[in-house]
Amino acid sequence: MAFSDYRTALVTGASSGIGAATVRRLCAEGLTVHAVARNAERLEELAAETGCKPHPVDVGDSAAVERLIDAIEIDVLVNNAGQSRRGNILDTTPEDVDALVDINLRAVLHLTRLVVPGMAQRNRGHVINISSIAGHYAFPGGNTVYHATKAGVHSLSQQLRVDLFGKNVRVTEISPARVETEVFGRLLGDLAEAKRRFFDDYDSLQPEDLANAIAFVVDAPARMNVAFMEVLPTQQVVGGLNFAQRKTPTTS
């Protein structure tokens, strides 16, 4: 299987960042790409640029997603939409928990259950889940709920391969580290400040890097499934060990 074996793709979180770059790349490869995101204006601009099919749909709206999937046949599904929040489990809110679980995990599960049976029936397809290094590593400053949801995407990707055993349907998980997208600006509420703090002095990944990674796994020969790809900037590493020093009681 390669681009020539597929006709259609669906990309979530398509209005910016990795999603928009992926839409551009897959359209350039000749696929009919259904671009899904909440921002209708940006989708229309992307459609004018690339010829993609815009669908202003919130992936958290399961009924709307089901109506969309009922109307189209998908060969390549790119589960990319995601959100994050500041803070950790010590100061998170119920709203933050629900929002991250709904978009980062529940929506991915619903899209997968709606799309994959058709792939299995046609014996043709490719599911690409964009997770994060946060799903595999714990590190200071990470949002606990975000880490948990991305770990869920990792587990889903592993089990999905088992569920599709014997079918010509491939499952790829791509796990990026820091990518220069708007997510940090949304967290801070200031895109310019996020650019200054996180990107100006760093060689971060670009959305196009991930789009190229997606193109690579899709274009691989039928005998080859890139099951897992961890993509980091050359100057970023994961890991590290912290050890809190025991506090000595003070005497009065």
Q: Give percent of the chain with pLDDT exceeding 90.
A: 77
Q: How many CB atoms lie within 10 A of CB 72?
A: 14
DSSP letter assigned to residue 245: P
The span from the CA of 207 to the CA of 218, in Å, is 17
- The radius of gyration of the chain's CA atoms, rounded to the nearest angstrom, is 19
Q: Is the pLDDT of residue 190 over 80?
A: no
The span from the CA of 140 to the CA of 18, in Å, is 24
Which CATH superfamily does the domain covering 3-231 fall into? NAD(P)-binding Rossmann-like Domain (3.40.50.720)
Q: Where are the alpha helices (DSSP H) in the chain?
A: 17-28, 40-50, 62-71, 94-101, 107-122, 144-163, 183-188, 191-194, 207-218
Average pLDDT over residues 128-155: 95
DSSP letter assigned to residue 168: S
Considering the chain, what is the average pLDDT of its residues? Answer: 93
pLDDT tens digits, one per residue of 231-250: 999 999 887 778 888 887 77
Average pLDDT over residues 44-65: 97
| Candidate from 56-70, 216-230, 231-245 with smallest mean pLDDT | 231-245
Q: Is the pLDDT of residue 141 over 90?
A: no
Beta carbons within 8 Å of 228's beta carbon, 6+ residues apart: 157, 172, 173, 175
pLDDT band at 102, cuts 50/70/90? Answer: very high
Residues with a known catalytic role: 146
What is the pLDDT at residue 251? 66
Q: Is the pLDDT of residue 252 over 80?
A: no
3 state SS for 18-42: HHHHHHHHHHHCCCEEEEEECCHHH
Number of residues in the chain: 252
Q: Is the pLDDT of residue 185 over 80?
A: no
The span from the CA of 136 to the CA of 160, in Å, is 18
pLDDT band at 208, cuts 50/70/90? Answer: very high
Dihedrals phi, psi of 150, to nearest 5 degrees: -70, -30
